[in-house]
Amino acid sequence: MMHKESGRPAKKQVTVTINGKKCPAEEGEILLGVAIREKIAIPHLCFEPSLDPYGACRLCMVEVVKRGRKEMTTSCTLRAAEGLEIVTDTPEIVKYRNILFELYLAEAPKSEILKAMAARYGVTKTRFLKKLEAADTLDNKCILCGLCVRACNEIMGAGAIGFVNRGPYTLVGTPYGEPTKDCFGCGACVKVCPTNAVEMEDTGDTRIMKSWNGTKVPLSKCDCCGEFFAPKGLATAALARVIPSLKEEIAVLCPACRGKRIAQEEIRALSGGAGHHG
């Protein structure tokens, strides 16, 4: 069977069972993704559909029956297959997951998102020593899920940030803890961070990556409205891939002004050149 639009062979449709509910899925699809689509709650912190499965946060553990044996595994690394059956909240999973939540609450005690998430699963305090460091550039909110590092490396290809040290001393940062020139200022790290630990701020013509040791990125100014919009470096990198005819206006106009201009040109064309100027 071929897929109508793309011409690629369509993925085989299978049925998986989550907590007794039959759910349709594509063969090989990540189980956590299926659960999210089906609105079945499985807590998770390091999952991002645009990146390869990573399996680091360990919260999305589910019970699966494999070769007749019950096994605990992360649903973000589990692939859909016909007849696959998982259960999300066995007493065993709840027991371990609660300890993991407590470990997270101790690791990132200032993250409100994390506190709210843990509370949804009944964990409101931790028996473990809280890590509170005044000098933490991520304000004691980072849980080292690695999403920012991977977005920066694997999606943006910038590699501006990485893991530093290892084991319990691991942290995310720029090389030598200094501002870095490799940062595009794209903000993907801010966007993917599950605990809102990564912060940036635009002031005038500069974007300040607050979490990355004050890395500063210059912004482009819109020729039309005068607002600062895209980071200059990012624009240059992106424009290298854009067809020449589009290049000029993308480079100088912010998305809002560009939208406006397209609309105006459309009107002008339709009305024989008598468009509004402004």
Partner 1 sequence: MKIVSAADLAAAQETGMQKIRPDRPRIAVGLATCGIAVGGNRVYERLQEIIEKEKAEIILTKTGCIGYCKEEPLVNITIPDKPLVILHKVTEADAEEIVREVSNGKVPEKLALCRVPSWDHITGCNIEYGKGFTKIPLYAKVPFFAGQKKVVLRDAGLINPEDIDEYIAVGGYAAARKALTGMDSEAIIKEVETSGLRGRGGAGFPTGQKWRITRDAPGERKIIICNADEGDPGAYMNRNEMESDPHMLIEGMIIGAFAMGADTGLIYIRAEYPLAIQRLKLALAQAREYGLLGRDIFGTGFSFDIGIATGAGAFVCGESTALVASIEGRTGRPHPRPPRLTDIGGGLWGYPTDLNNVETWCNVPVIIMNGSGWYAKIGSKGNTGTKVFSLVGKVDRVGLVEVPLGTMLKTIVSDIGNGGANGKHVKAVQTGGPSGGCIPLRMFDTPVDFENLNKAGSIMGSGGIVVMDEETDMVDIARYFITFATGESCGKCVPCREGLKHALLILNRIMAGKGTKKDIETLALLSDTIAATSLCGLGQTAPNPVLTTLAYFREEYDTRVKP
Interacting residues toward partner 1 by CB under 8 A:
53-58, 61, 72, 74, 77, 92, 95-96, 99-100, 103-104, 106-107, 127-129, 143-144, 146, 162-163, 165-170
For residue 186, the minimal CB distance to partner 1 (Å) is: 23
What does the angle CA 39 – CA 118 – CA 88 come to, to the nearest 5 degrees?
Answer: 45
**Distant-in-sequence, close-in-space partners of 53: CB < 8 Å, separation ≥ 6:** 30, 47, 76, 77
C-beta closer to partner 1: residue 82 or 265:
82
CA distances from 268 to 261, 264, 275, 278 (A): 10, 6, 4, 13
Residue 166 CA to residue 144 CA, distance in Å, equals 11
Strands 171-173 and 162-164: antiparallel
For residue 1, the minimal CB distance to partner 1 (Å) is: 23
**Distant-in-sequence, close-in-space partners of 236: CB < 8 Å, separation ≥ 6:** none
C-beta closer to partner 1: residue 55 or 179:
55
Residue 234 CA to residue 82 CA, distance in Å, equals 43
For residue 56, the minimal CB distance to partner 1 (Å) is: 5
Angle of helix 255-270 relative to helix 244-252, nearest 10 degrees, comes to: 120
Residue count of the chain, please give it: 278
C-beta closer to partner 1: residue 168 or 226:
168
C-beta closer to partner 1: residue 89 or 249:
89
C-beta closer to partner 1: residue 126 or 213:
126
For residue 163, the minimal CB distance to partner 1 (Å) is: 7
C-beta closer to partner 1: residue 56 or 238:
56
Rg (CA), the chain: 23
First to last CA, the chain: 53
For residue 99, the minimal CB distance to partner 1 (Å) is: 4
C-beta closer to partner 1: residue 135 or 169:
169
Which one, of 247, 246, 208, lies nearest residue 228 by Cα? 208
For residue 182, the minimal CB distance to partner 1 (Å) is: 17
For residue 165, the minimal CB distance to partner 1 (Å) is: 7
SS3 state at 198: coil
C-beta closer to partner 1: residue 77 or 264:
77
Residue 225 CA to residue 40 CA, distance in Å, equals 45
Q: What is the dihedral of CA 48, 31, 145, 124, to 10 degrees?
A: 120
For residue 22, the minimal CB distance to partner 1 (Å) is: 26
